[in-house]
Structure 1
């Protein structure tokens, strides 16, 4: 990883953490409005989504929207054997009661012993640090989403969720294992990336 990439990651993490609660709320509401009219959201039955905890775009209202429309909601759980993600279906009651455990990396996970492969999902709402104009996604650096999707015989539609400053109108240098996005939603933008992405 280049020094430039490391510096950009550090800058973006800091920028996310500096957002006020009011700004976070505004951004989440704006993205929610985009998804209310997004065909891919309404056609999906099984939706993977994350629990925010590091300044990412907040997902509380999105998760509630999923339950309101009778979607099956899946949260990621790190599989220690291969450092990929498994997907655990949660109930509305489980979510409301916050029945989660804190992982050593600092994120909350659903309470379960095993989960399903990412191929069970129709739509995957993904966190990110940055996204370029081709849909290349820069994650937190752990490679969990890339490893998970690389091994998938069927890949769900990948939609990134981000603050506006996380979109870059340029091309990133990509690695062969990087898994690109089909689309990106920010408070001001709803983008579809035209180039072919393998399913």
Structure 2
């Protein structure tokens, strides 16, 4: 392979000011102004090195699949670094037609009560260090790690899904309507 082709299988991520990154075996530890987190790259076949203010990534092999994995790892690292500086926010809307749905947070679990008049509440869990705040008919999710926030939002949407009815008629549920950078209070 030529050097031009080999450069395609290497990439780097700039570490923003205020964020420190350390590497221990396959685990990257991030510390920033909004908190700290870690990410394991044990199952992702990428070589990682930290030099000065950059994280250097390279693939183990030179195949098309490895090229895609390299850029996935780069995006994960970049999103974590951005999140520790600015944070992320997802807003969700509670939609109901007859039975008013209430959302409560109890520790690391979210309780969805009175969904379609059901007596038993529906439970889901909060992933990572995501903060969930119900405000009237909105539910606001904030945090530093984008994958944790989006997974928490997906858990809420899936638990408030209408089953065994026509989903075009029964529109009750909790749906995300805004995703943005920055932590909203």
Q: TM-score, structure 1 length as denominator?
A: 0.23
Which protein is richer in helix relative to its size?
1
